[in-house]
């Protein structure tokens, strides 16, 4: 039987980041990372790979946590020669509804006041503040905060492909995307240099005796059998609740399926130099009268004729010469048991394209028969707590730690989350937001009260 100081279950971005922080940043010598799947291949390579420092309250916990994570990502980008191509291309939230524009302004004032950076408002008046420069596929632009543009002409000058009724743009600046796969590989290489051992296998049971972790048992056939350890980390992504049950802890987690379309804009409708573009209004898909009537008569498809939720979004993927874009829209939000590979609605690419045509009317060209080339579709699960904050730190079972519930922000949060987990494990001083990520927060009446007012911040 082998042994380890720490055994991490799951080589997704959470587990790999934990391995990196423990070995490289804290010098923990004997860390074992267990997974029966290749690193980052379950959820962490299905992501849109975006990040933002812009998070709602109440309280500044999420803003500070994500800002810390982005600080660490930037540090690693610097030290690695930006191996994971992190950029600061921004996020653009758009609406054609004046009431929602007012909501965007109210929300932006709130998040700015929580520490996410200054809010500059552009109304098309002579005393408007200057509009900070955009610089694409670069990190070399220290602009933060957000620009709220209430001047339609300016919005359409910058994004001429938007519909003429667009009313407001909220342009978030300390945001962008990166390659999660490259980030993961960089951390794995560094962690291996510092002694990380990877074990191929599935953890069947966490052995708990007298309320404390004693080891893990792997499924038979993996060659490793049992690994003795007094410190276990549950970073099992969408299977964290199941792994929790096998380690003596019930976890308040559920899974939501989110799909993603990789689409080739071979007609060249969309420019390349864009932020992530998100439409904040609910959308009614456009159909011919005939199609609408046919769909309305089919109980399984009637929903396609009804109002669909807000949030359809896209971003360019690849460099300036690429024509690919990632398109996303989660129009069915429901908790479900994870299955692999996830079953994605066969209509998904067409529905997303129809939704996007509200934001970019010229994309309707692809809805003509035979025009859209077959897109590539994948997706994965957001593993979430009720209030959409992760679970990081110890549990009532001594030595049993959590690094899960990473929802739709696991790539961007990976560094602050793993840093926090490592601080718990090595007994380092904790940041003052640590308590809001513990499992025990649900026993704190003040937290439960605060939770009632929390917005999920989910895209």
Ligand X SMILES: Cc1cc2nc3c(=O)[nH]c(=O)nc-3n(C[C@H](O)[C@H](O)[C@H](O)COP(=O)(O)OP(=O)(O)OC[C@H]3O[C@@H](n4cnc5c(N)ncnc54)[C@H](O)[C@@H]3O)c2cc1C
Binding residues (CB under 6 A) for ligand X: these are 9-15, 34-37, 42-44, 46-51, 202-203, 235-239, 243, 258, 260, 379-380, 382, 404, 406-412
141 versus 239: smaller Cβ distance to ligand X: 239
Q: How far is the CB of 90 from ligand X (least distance, A)?
A: 13
Taking the least distance from each CB to ligand X, the nearer of 155 and 383 is 383
Q: How far is the CB of 314 from ligand X (least distance, A)?
A: 12
Q: What is the DSSP letter of 238?
A: G
Minimum distance from residue 44 beta carbon to ligand X (Å):
4
Distance of closest approach, residue 299 Cβ to ligand X, in angstroms: 28
Q: How far is CA 105 from the centre of its chain?
A: 24
Residue 448 contacts residue 48 (beta carbons within 8 Å): no
Residues in the chain: 459
DSSP, residue by residue, 278-309: EE-S-B-----HHHHHHHHH-TTTGGGGS-B-
For tokens 């291949």, the residue is 41
Q: Is 251 in contact with 241 (CB distance < 8 Å)?
A: yes
- Give the number of other CB atoms < 10 A from CB of residue 413: 27
Least distance in angstroms from the C-beta of 437 to ligand X: 14
- Which CB, 97 or 214, lies closer to ligand X? 214
Neighbours of 80 (CB within 10 A): 16
DSSP helix/strand/coil, 277: strand
Distance CA 114, CA 55 (A): 9
Distance CA 425, CA 436 (A): 17
Compare residues 451 and 459 and give the one whose CB is closer to ligand X.
459
Is residue 228 within a helix (H) or strand (E), and if so which, with residue range? Answer: strand 226-228
Give whichever of 366 and 382 is closer to ligand X, judged by the CB atom. Answer: 382
Question: 259 by DSSP, 3-state: which?
Answer: strand
Q: Is the Cβ–Cβ distance between 324 and 123 less than 8 Å?
A: no
Instruction: Report, in Å, the least distance between residue 361 CB and ligand X.
Output: 25
Q: Radius of gyration over alpha carbons of the chain, in Å?
A: 23
Q: Which is nearer to ligand X, 168 or 206 (CB)?
A: 206
| Whole-number Å distance between alpha carbons of 137 and 320 | 9
Nearest distance in Å: CB 100, ligand X: 22
Please say which residue, 149 or 191, places its beta carbon nearer to ligand X.
191
Name which of 150 and 213 has its Cβ closer to ligand X. Answer: 213
> In whole angstroms, how close is the CB of 171 to ligand X at the nearest point?
17
């Amino acid at each position: 039987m082998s042994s380890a100081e720490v055994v991490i279950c799951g080589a997704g971005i959470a587990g790999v980041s934990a391995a990196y922080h423990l070995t490289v940043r804290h010098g923990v010598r004997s860390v074992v990372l267990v997974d029966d799947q290749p690193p980052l291949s379950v959820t962490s390579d299905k992501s849109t790979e975006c990040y933002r420092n812009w998070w709602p309250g109440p309280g500044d916990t999420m803003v500070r946590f994500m800002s810390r994570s982005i600080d660490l990502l930037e540090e690693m980008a610097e030290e690695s020669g930006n191996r994971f191509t992190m950029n600061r291309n921004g996020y653009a939230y758009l609406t054609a509804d004046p009431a929602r524009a007012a909501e965007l302004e109210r929300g932006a004032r709130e998040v700015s006041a929580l520490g996410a950076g200054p809010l500059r408002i552009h109304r098309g008046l002579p005393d408007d503040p200057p509009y900070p420069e955009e610089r694409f596929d670069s990190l070399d632009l220290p602009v933060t905060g957000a620009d709220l543009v209430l001047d339609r002409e300016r919005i359409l000058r910058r994004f001429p492909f938007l519909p003429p009724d667009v009313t407001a743009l909220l342009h978030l600046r300390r945001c962008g995307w990166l390659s999660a796969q490259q980030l993961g590989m960089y951390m794995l290489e560094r962690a291996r240099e510092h002694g990380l051992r990877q074990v191929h296998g599935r953890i069947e049971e966490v052995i708990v005796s007298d309320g404390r972790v004693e080891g893990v048992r792997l499924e038979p056939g993996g060659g490793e059998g049992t690994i003795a350890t007094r410190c276990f980390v549950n970073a099992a992504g969408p299977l964290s609740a199941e792994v929790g049950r096998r380690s003596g802890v019930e976890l308040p987690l559920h899974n939501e399926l989110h799909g993603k379309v990789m689409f080739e804009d071979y007609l060249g409708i969309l420019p390349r130099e864009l932020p992530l573009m998100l439409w904040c209004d609910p959308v009614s898909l456009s159909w011919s009268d005939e199609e609408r009537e046919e769909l309305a008569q089919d109980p399984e498809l009637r929903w396609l004729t009804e109002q669909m939720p807000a949030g359809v979004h896209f971003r360019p993927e690849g460099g300036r010469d690429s024509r690919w874009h990632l398109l996303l829209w989660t129009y069915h939000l429901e908790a479900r048991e994870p299955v692999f590979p996830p079953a994605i609605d066969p209509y998904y690419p067409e529905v997303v394209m129809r939704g996007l045509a509200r934001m970019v009317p010229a994309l309707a060209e692809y809805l003509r028969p035979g025009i859209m080339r077959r897109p590539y579709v994948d997706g994965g699960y957001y593993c979430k707590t009720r209030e959409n904050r992760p679970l990081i730190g110890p549990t009532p079972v001594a030595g049993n730690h959590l690094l899960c519930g990473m929802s739709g922000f696991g790539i961007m949060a990976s560094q602050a989350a793993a840093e926090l987990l490592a601080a718990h494990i090595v007994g380092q001083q904790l940041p003052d937001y640590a308590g809001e990520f513990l499992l025990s927060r649900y026993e704190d009446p003040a937290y439960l009260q605060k939770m009632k007012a929390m917005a999920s911040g989910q895209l």
